[in-house]
Structures are given as C-alpha cells and as structure tokens.
Structure 1
Amino acid sequence: MTPTRDGDTRRRILETLLAGDPASASEIAAELGLSAAAVRRHLDILVGEGLAEAAPAPAAGPRGRGRPAKTFRLTAEGRSRFGHGYDELAAAALAALREAGGEAAVMAFARRRAAEILDGVDAVGDGVSVPEVVDQVVGAFRRHGYAAHAHPGRAGLQLCQRHCPISEVAGDFPELCEAEQEAVSTLLGQHTQQLATIADGNGVCTVHIPLVRSRPPAPHAAPTERSGQ
C-alpha cells in the first residue's frame, strides 16, 4: 500500500511542477496539503530518478532577506511521463506532406493549426491591451494541452510553456513552433522574440513580448485567417 501512496504523491508533485513555474517544497506542500518535509523527501527521489531538477536562481528580481528558497522544475524526462500523443503518426503525416508539397505545404499546415488554437483570441486594439491578449493566449494554449503561463520579464512579458504536446514532432518540424509565434505576434501587432524551445532540448518554451510596441510583423495571409471571417 505505501509504495502506491508514495507513487501517487510523487505523481501529484510532478503535475504541480508541470502546471506552473518552478516551485519550492513549501509552495508545493501548500498546494497539495502536505508537509514541506514530506515534499522534500519526494523531491529528492524525483531528482534521483532524473524526473525533476533544481531550478536556477532568477537572474534579476526583488530580493528579500536571507537565502531565496530552492526551487524545482521538471526535466525533459519528467515531462515525457505525461505523453506527447501520436508523435510517430503525426511525424509520418508531416513527412508525407513535406514530400508531396514541400516546405510551403508544411508551413501552411502549421499556420492553419496555430490559427485554430488561437481562434477567438482578441487582437490588440481599442480597449484591448497587450497583457489582456497574452492572458487570452495563455488560456487558448492551455485548452490545447500546453502548460502555458505568462510572467513579467525584463521590459516586457514572457510567455512560457512548460509542457508542449507536440514537442517531439516539433523537433523535426520547427514550422509548428514558428507558426505559433507568428500567430501570437500577429494578434499583438508587434514582433516577439523566441528565447528557447522544448523542441531544442530546453526545459521550457519562452517567447519575450515587449510592452513597448515595435514594428508590426510582416503581413501574411494564413496566420490571420480566423473562423467566421
């Protein structure tokens, strides 16, 4: 009985790390209603199994008194425990599409997929601010299986995804990531900067969104296609 309970607890800890930012043992304990000591014991096991790791200390930000709490995040192996869904089939289908129609066909598919994910998200405009659009984007990605969130960064916001349901496929077909970023940029009416992707072996996909509007992205038809238009 005990191993099963312990396994369930560690699964809940992994799910907590999957859903949000790197978290300390105390934060996870508060979320799950456990003692911090118990959570630290399970985190030690998860780190030993290669499913979690200590997160780097933030490079900048408010500092309190004393040493900041140690935080943890999932490793790539930890994220893989949640599955990626039909990776081989999707990769085979995209490979066939590329063979038949070339890179342009793959990009057209990727743009259509990104438009479907973000369908219903408002664009920046009268009465709609960048942070409000980013909040809607986060919600849209979460509804499609991404562990997405946004937080303040240097001179802007950072849109992060700590679990991507297509990361295995996107490693071979980067058009999928490019189209998602392109569609977000179109909604925001400005360029965004890709800082990291899970597909490239990083622990998180991160896009920097300036709060000061820059030049709008180059126009293209596919990413701006919305249902009902």
Structure 2
Amino acid sequence: MPVEAAPTFEWSYVFLAVLIPVAILVYMLGNFRAKRLGSARNLEPQGRRMPKGAIRSDPQFSGFVGRALERGLLTPIAAADAQPIMIRGVITTADGNLGGAPGRECVWRNRSGAPRDAAVAAEIVVVSDATGRLTLENLDRAEVIAPEEKTGPRVAGSGLYIGDEIEVIGRFKPERFGSDPDPTRLVYGSMGGDGNLYVRVHSRSNLPAAAETPVPAAAEALSSPASPAQAPQETTE
C-alpha cells in the first residue's frame, strides 16, 4: 500500500497573515497623522505668508543686534552712513495702515507667538528723529518687540502705531530726497532693504479707542504702496 506524502507547509499563508494586519496598522497611523497635521495648519495665524524658510536668523546680524543693544549707541539719522546702525525715532506716517484712531493708526501687527512671516505691515513706514527722517522697508519681515495687547479672552497680539517712539537696528542705505528747506524734514535714507531689521518700542503714550475701519479699505490701502522716492504726506508729528 503506497504511503501518502505529508502535506507541505505553506509559508505564504503565514506571510499574508502577518502582512495584512501590519498594512492596516500603517494605514491607520498615517491617516491619523495626516488629520493631526491638517488640524495644526488650521490653527496657524493667517497673514502674509513668505516661502518656507525665507525668514531665517542671520547669525552675523543677530550678533550685531546684541552688541548694539548692549552699547545703546544711537546714530542721528542725518549723520548715518552706509553701515549697520541703531536709531531712535517716532513713527510719523506710512503709505497704508491697518486701521485705528486717527493719528495713531496701526502700521504692523502680528499675533502673539506667531512666526514673523505671519505679520502684516505697511510697505513703507517713515521714522523721524530730531535731525531728519528715514523709511523702513520690509517691516513685515522684521523682528519686532512690542507690548502685548489682549484682543479677546483667548486672543492676544502686538502692533506698531503712528506716534510710537521706536528703536531700529539695521543696515542704513543713504538715499536723500525731499526739497523742504528745513533739513529735519528731509529723508536721508532707508533701513530694512536687505531683509534684516530689528524694531523695539521704546515708549508709547496711551492708545485712544480705535474707530471701526472696514477691512476692505485697510486692505486696499496696503495693496497700493507709495514709491520711496515720494515721501508720504505727514499725518502727525
């Protein structure tokens, strides 16, 4: 009587029995992670977005900022040369604003804890000291230190306003223009053109209650920047 051969063990069934649960687990973990990332993006502050990685700390500039703050040496605007400097002046006007009380309009704003590239700002902001004026460029990319403002039970932010006395650190670019016989009313150059700018509020008087400003009007004002060669009209001294 012939002896029947023993059935061969099919390892493929074992492989499938292990592979299928692993594949299901990987799919579930990936789906869960995707939902979490999506929720995190929805919670990010909305504002003017720069390309990822566009705003990075410049170690050389950061070192200069630290030394400038430690020394506290201020350069008069009218005597500034083409080099990194620290000035102190008052925000006098801008080519647009984000609303606010007349004469104290907001020119830069961001939410507390938000990245720098989430800020929204006027394109050109004019700062004045006792000797003259300069323009700030790329303010929306600047590192700004300003008092925190509570705008709701769970919402806080900070802003820069016309009338604020600020300290600015950055590379000065001489570019004199203006025809006023008073030298203190001439523009002597700009700061922030290279994307490196540090701004800190030195003093601020109490802000009056802001009148309601329609969002479309504020957005339209910011979408039509004035040329740096044409200084904006003065709104307050």
Q: Which TM-score applies when normalising by structure 2?
A: 0.24
Q: Which TM-score applies when normalising by structure 1?
A: 0.25
More helix by share: 1
Q: Using CA pairs below 8 Å that are at least 6 residues apart, which structure has the higher relative contact order?
A: 2
